[in-house]
Amino acid sequence: MMPYNLKEVLKKESRFVSGHRMCAGCGAPPAVRTILRALKEDDNAVVSCATGCLEVSSFLFPYTSWKNVSFIHTAFACAAATLSGTQTAYKKLKNDGKLDKEKTTKFIAFGGDGGTLDIGFQSLSGAMERGHDLTYVCYDNGAYMNTGTQRSSSTPHYADTTTSPAGKVVNGKSQRRKDLAQIMVNHNLPYVAQTALFGNQKDIYEKAQKAIYTEGPTFLSVFSPCPRGWGYPTEDLQLIEKLAIDTCFWPLYEVVNGVYKITYKPAKKLPIEEFLKPQKRFKHLFKDGNEYLIEQMQKEIDEKWNYLLMMEEITNKE
């Protein structure tokens, strides 16, 4: 890989352009744009996109924000299955000499957490286990935002959603969130990473480049804040991302053939309430008597962070 140079990266023609209907302050569009910029300029790409915010807002026939890629809208459950079939057909045609062997085509799937951790999990797991040469990207906004902010298995503990409402009886979602990146690590993939935009695009760009150009099945989990579902001002997108990373709610790391590397360690790890305060979905946690809920979340965050630190130390000794 070439050393990251923001000016050079921005000179590349964008393959995800303006005109989409995504909300102001949403984390998904800049993430998708940066990931697609990681493609080499002469390479083709086939994109499979599960139903969700990204798809319904970026491809309203005959209008599209996807440029110079072959775009396939597929159902909620089968973005990975659709792409794995497409990649297999491409491989057969190329082996038969019906496609230019000198031309490179990469295969990338996009899905939200509902279409990835829940409805689409079986097709994702199957594609990863079969070893298809593709990259799956989950833009994780922690709920079913496209249909009204219902809880998903990625919704954080105690978050208020329309199907896990915070009130006198229940304090929001009563279960901890599913850690899909770790599940993908246990599929023995050559490359798994968790990333976010976080002020500059270096981390997400470099990880996207590694994922796309690593042979075999690879997975990216991308932090994707949602102003409508989370309840923060649209201009605070980068603030929310920074707080998520500096509190270690969303640690940045990669796993290359089983070897862990944390790509960002906060100089001063902030308490989790700094991430929770700006979001209306967590406002009930700051009522008198609910201090123990924040303490519980802090304990969960610390356990996850300490686990990553341990795995980084262990796997780099081997």
Residue 155 falls inside a structural domain:
yes
97-105 long-range contacts, Cβ below 8 Å, gap at least 24? 103/44, 104/40, 104/42, 104/43, 104/44, 105/43, 105/44, 105/45, 105/46
**Tally of structural domains, the chain:** 1
Identify the CATH number of the domain in which residue 56 sits: 3.40.50.970
Helix (H) or strand (E) holding 310: helix 291-317
Domain that holds residue 32: 6-317
Helices (H) and strands (E) in the chain, counts: 11, 10
- Give the residue among 119, 101, 103, 100 at the shortest CA–CA distance from 111: 119
> Is there a contact between 252 and 194 (Cβ–Cβ < 8 Å)?
yes
The pair of structure tokens assigned to 20 is: 């989409």
Mean pLDDT of the chain, nearest integer: 96
List pLDDT tens digits, range 146-201. Answer: 999 999 999 999 999 999 999 999 999 999 999 999 999 999 999 999 999 876 68
Per residue in 219-254, pLDDT (tens digit) is 999 999 999 999 999 999 999 999 999 999 999 999
Task: Using the predicted structure, report yes or no on whether residue 126 has a pLDDT greater than 70.
Answer: yes
Rounded CA separation 161/230 (Å) = 9
Contact 239, 41 (CB under 8 A): no
Q: How far apart are CA 227 and CA 302, in angstroms?
A: 26
Mean pLDDT for the stretch of residues 51-61: 93
* pLDDT at residue 209 is higher than 70: yes
Specify if 1 maps to a domain.
Answer: no
Residue 185 inside a domain? The answer is: yes
Give which of 216, 210, 212 is closest to 190, Cα–Cα.
Answer: 216
**Buried/exposed code over 182-210 (b: 16+ C-beta within 10 A; e: otherwise):** bbbbeeebbbbbbbbbbeebbbbbbbbbb
Measure the CA angle with vertex 51, ends 72 and 119; round to 5°: 115
Q: Check pLDDT > 90 for residue 1.
A: no
Domain presence at residue 186: yes
Q: Please choose, from the candidates 44, 53, 54, the residue with its C-alpha nearest in 3D space to the C-alpha of residue 90.
A: 44
Please indicate, yes or no, if residue 99 is contained in any of the structural domains.
yes
Within a domain: 82: yes
Give Cα 20 distance to the centre of its chain: 19
Q: Residue 270 in contact with residue 240, Cβ under 8 Å?
A: no
Instruction: Find, among 199, 252, 202, 247, the residue nearest to 222 by Cα.
Output: 252
